[in-house]
Amino acid sequence: MSSRLQPVTDVDFDRIVERATVPVLIEFWKPGCGHCKSLMHELEQVQGELGAEVLVLTMNVDENFQIPAELEIFSLPALALYRDGSFERFIGGLGRKEEILRQLQLG
């Protein structure tokens, strides 16, 4: 699945998230997940609209196990919000840019 969003791995996760000076949204996905692909498209729009106000990352759970296990992610896609380097919450109502922006309270 090609995406304009930055992928993140278990190895570089802490470094990238802790250094971020803006909220970080991470989509946990896996190949073959249609809802994951739809959400990724919406997140590309969020990133395009908000630019430097938010960092949107993607993590392939087929290739990364540590972070999804720590967050107890059992269904995909999952969208996690981090602020100041710490997990804040999962964002529900997945699927639409407008809802994601509303929950971020940035747009």
- Residues whose CB falls within 8 Å of the CB of residue 101, separated by 6 or more in sequence, listed in order: 46, 49, 50, 107
For residue 102, what pLDDT is reported? 87
Domain 6-104 fold is Glutaredoxin (3.40.30)
Helix, strand, coil abundance in the chain, percent, nearest 5 = 40, 25, 35
Phi first, then psi: what are they for 29, rounded to 5°? -145, 170
Per-run averaged pLDDT (10 residues), the chain, 107 residues: 82 96 96 94 94 96 97 95 95 81 74
What pLDDT sits at residue 104?
85
pTM value?
A: 0.92
Domain spans of the chain? 6-104
> What kind and span of H or E run contains 22?
none
> How many Å apart are CA 51 and CA 55, to the nearest integer?
8
